[in-house]
Amino acid sequence: MIDLVEPLLAGDRRALARLLTAIENERPGVEAALAALFSYTGRTWVIGVTGAPGTGKSSLVNALAKAYRAHGETVGILAVDPTSPFTGGAILGDRIRMRDLSGDKGVFIRSMATRGNLGGLSRAARDAIRAFDAAGFDRVLVETVGAGQSEIDIVRAAHTTLVVEAPGLGDDVQAIKAGILEIADVLVVNKADRVGVENTIRGLKTMLELGHPASRAQLMQHHGQLLPADTSSNGHNESFWLPPILRTVATDGQGIDEVLRAIDAHREHLLRTGILQLERGQIEIELHERLQAALVARFLSQIPVDSIAAIIDRVQNRAVDPQGAVNQLLALMELPKSLKVNE
Amino acid sequence: MIDLVEPLLAGDRRALARLLTAIENERPGVEAALAALFSYTGRTWVIGVTGAPGTGKSSLVNALAKAYRAHGETVGILAVDPTSPFTGGAILGDRIRMRDLSGDKGVFIRSMATRGNLGGLSRAARDAIRAFDAAGFDRVLVETVGAGQSEIDIVRAAHTTLVVEAPGLGDDVQAIKAGILEIADVLVVNKADRVGVENTIRGLKTMLELGHPASRAQLMQHHGQLLPADTSSNGHNESFWLPPILRTVATDGQGIDEVLRAIDAHREHLLRTGILQLERGQIEIELHERLQAALVARFLSQIPVDSIAAIIDRVQNRAVDPQGAVNQLLALMELPKSLKVNE
């Protein structure tokens, strides 16, 4: 795997493709390659695109990529599907829709689906973004299908997050977007030529006023109150970036330039204010996840498999509750040390 | 918190409500109460209900609860919204739709939303199911809004999982359901009085034939091949339960009895075959998650906060890659031991 590093840095697209496949399949040697690439990352601008099904995210990503290409910028596209472990209905659709980008060497499109393990996809997505970054793409567009926690985890690796909405998707879908609204840096109402667009925009404005942290912060400032630092946020909010609401018809390019300008405005805002905190927060989350995985792996290698099977039996028979079982397992690991103390 | 245990076991609904609130808010003392309740669990039948937005899951849950009540069974309903950390659009809607169940002491409805931390919601949902279980409800219906990985994690705590579909939701939504199809024990096509229902059913049949593990297994058996044991599955599949596809119009009760019968058929199937493996798999996942949390908490308590801040700095400056940073942190913990070895 390490032999891919040099060609990838030199712009070889096949090396990039091979590394991305290795990342998705968690092949051995990937870690070493990513470690070697790491010092070449941190140059691209990562744009997350998420939103409920039916909003036309893929068409929007397509249109954004074309617009960036028209400005001479190179674009990596990562289409992530956290919902489908085994087929690629949506992914296939994306590919078809992105057909008019193919043949252009300044664009590289990659789809990625789950391999079933929890958290594995957001980790793979993060590593894939780094591969694009080291390969020198000016922009990386990360599109997620759906609107749940997994999507939020994935776009957390982005610098600027677009939340896409569309008119006429029904109440149930409207409700879904409440959660992802919090992570929006730019709100895009796509399919804006449809009836009901004014309702959608009015709804978004109301939700923004009620729900967005920056909006709450601004309201508080407006009322002359002191704002408590929000350490749990990703750094977007403390500096009062209120997401603009933009209209697009992605399929014919309407409104795309405005989205590009909003992304750049958000970028300039972040570079001026919270980029370091944003990156720090992202690194902290990543180290936490990697630490978890490493600690569990090491622990399990120290405990006999029989003990684990035995403790599962005891939980199943209701002889011990799950947290009690974990405490017993932890005590097993400490046993040698305490024996020494007793000697 | 521990004082809630006795009244809860005696059927006191206020004690249940208070414990559920404590679970959702991760109050201290919850663990002790849950540990005390654990030996009274394992009696209820947990039914997960999931599916894409707009399929009418809440109406279906409502209709199922009414039908169980008509058969004299008590029902706990847990409506989980993994997408919304701060508002309850969908949850509010659910409550309105479930109005006609209120006033019946044999039904208890509870909504739950995220508190922001990863994995916290599926843990809280699992604990809430246990509270319902210990409180003696015959059935627990767990409804999730949305269709992503978080929902899959939540319904993983169920015995029987219903995946709800509806005609005319568009291609994008159709694609989303591919992932959740794998976890379906019963497929329900709700809003079956709508045009396009035959298309929806045909689509589901095709996807089942192509994609469902039990279906693949049956195909293989049909061709006389030996079936490799699928240890990664939750035990549903090895015994060849192929999900039935049922039609309902939940709002006027059409088809609900058939869903009840399918749930009972699946229950009998599981009790005859894979219930122990299913439970074992669920316990294993839970112990893994709890072990992770415990190991990280213990590790962080042993490492000076300064070292962590310093290592984040080094990653941010690209002086070390994230996995290298984790390795350095782990080495910090082992330092005293290796010093001892050198003495």
Q: Do B323 and A290 touch (CB under 8 A)?
A: yes
Q: What is the DSSP letter of B249?
A: B
Q: Does B21 touch chain A (CB under 8 A)?
A: no
Convert the pLDDT of each residue in B238-291 to its tens digit: 457 889 999 999 999 999 999 999 999 999 999 988 888 888 988 988 898 889
User: Residues A135, A56: one domain?
Assistant: yes
pLDDT of residue A137 exceeding 70, the answer is yes
Interface test with B, best of A37, A172, A292 (most B CBs within 10 A): A172
Q: Is B286 a member of any domain?
A: no
Q: Count of CB atoms within 10 A of residue B283's CB?
A: 18
Q: How far apart are CA A123 and CA A246, in angstroms?
A: 31
Mean residue pLDDT of chain A comes to 80
Q: Is B266 a member of any domain?
A: yes
User: Residues B123, B149: one domain?
Assistant: yes
Q: Do B276 and A41 touch (CB under 8 A)?
A: no
The count of domains in chain B is 3
Across the A:B interface, residue pairs with CB atoms under 8 Å apart total 232
Q: In what order do the strands lie in the sheet with B75-81?
A: B107-113, B75-81, B139-144, B45-51, B160-165, B186-189, B245-247
* Chain A residues in contact with B283 (beta carbon < 8 A): 312, 315-316, 322
CB-closest option in A119, A211, A292 to B87 = A211
Instruction: Please give, rounded to a whole number of angstroms, the shortest distance from the CA of A297 to a CA of chain B.
Output: 10
User: Residues A225, A264: one domain?
Assistant: yes
Q: Does B174 touch chain A (CB under 8 A)?
A: yes
User: Residues A168, A310: one domain?
Assistant: no
Instruction: Look at residues B223, B256, B274 and tell me which one is the last residue of a structural domain.
Output: B274
A132 or B220: whose pLDDT is higher?
A132
* Chain B residues in contact with A334 (beta carbon < 8 A): none
User: Residues A24, A144: one domain?
Assistant: no
Task: For residues B318-337, give the mean pLDDT.
Answer: 83
pLDDT of residue A25 exceeding 60, the answer is yes
Task: For residues A241-248, give the mean pLDDT.
Answer: 93
Q: Is B296 a member of any domain?
A: no
Max distance between CA atoms of chain B, in angstroms, equals 80
Question: CATH code at A267?
Answer: 3.40.50.300
pLDDT at B269: 93
User: Residues B48, B113: one domain?
Assistant: yes
Model's pTM, two decimal places?
A: 0.71
CB-closest option in B151, B177, B312 to A280 = B312
Q: What is the DSSP letter of B78?
A: E
Q: What is the DSSP letter of B56?
A: -
pLDDT of residue A342 exceeding 50, the answer is no
SS3 per-residue string spanning chain A: CHHHHHHHHCCCHHHHHHHHHHHHCCCCCHHHHHHHHHHHCCCCEEEEEEECCCCCHHHHHHHHHHHHHHCCCCEEEEEEECCCCCCCHHHHHHHHHCHHHCCCCCEEEEEEECCCCCCHHHHHHHHHHHHHHHCCCCEEEEEECECCHHHHHHHCCCCEEEEEECCCCCHHHHHHHHHHHCCCCEEEECCCCCCCHHHHHHHHHHHHHHHCHHHHHHHHHHCCCCCCCCCCCCCCCCCCCCCCEEECEHHHCECHHHHHHHHHHHHHHHHHCCHHHHHHHHHHHHHHHHHHHHHHHHHHHHCCHHHHHHHHHHHHCCCCCHHHHHHHHHHHHHHHHHHHHHC
* Chain A residues in contact with B284 (beta carbon < 8 A): 312
User: Residues A48, A174: one domain?
Assistant: yes
User: Residues A48, A6: one domain?
Assistant: no
From the number of C-beta atoms within 10 Å of its C-beta (0-12, 13-18, 19+), residue A332 rates as middle
User: Residues A16, A158: one domain?
Assistant: no
Q: Is A296 a member of any domain?
A: no
Q: Is B321 a member of any domain?
A: yes
Q: Is B120 a member of any domain?
A: yes
Q: Do A114 and B34 touch (CB under 8 A)?
A: no
Q: Is A286 a member of any domain?
A: no
pLDDT at B221: 46
Q: How far apart are the first and last CA of chain A?
A: 49
**Full domain range(s) for residue A81:** 41-274
Taking only residues 140 to 159 of chain B, the set having a beta carbon closer than 8 angstroms to any beta carbon of chain A reads 145-151, 153
Task: For residues B324-341, give the mean pLDDT.
Answer: 71
User: Residues A22, A92: one domain?
Assistant: no
Q: What is the predicted ipTM?
A: 0.78
* Chain A residues in contact with B176 (beta carbon < 8 A): 53, 83-84, 90, 145-146
User: Residues B116, B163: one domain?
Assistant: yes
Convert the pLDDT of each residue in A146-196 to its tens digit: 545 566 677 778 999 998 988 877 544 454 455 566 788 999 999 999 988
pLDDT at A231: 36
Q: Do A322 and B150 touch (CB under 8 A)?
A: no
User: Residues A12, A105: one domain?
Assistant: no
Q: Is B282 a member of any domain?
A: no
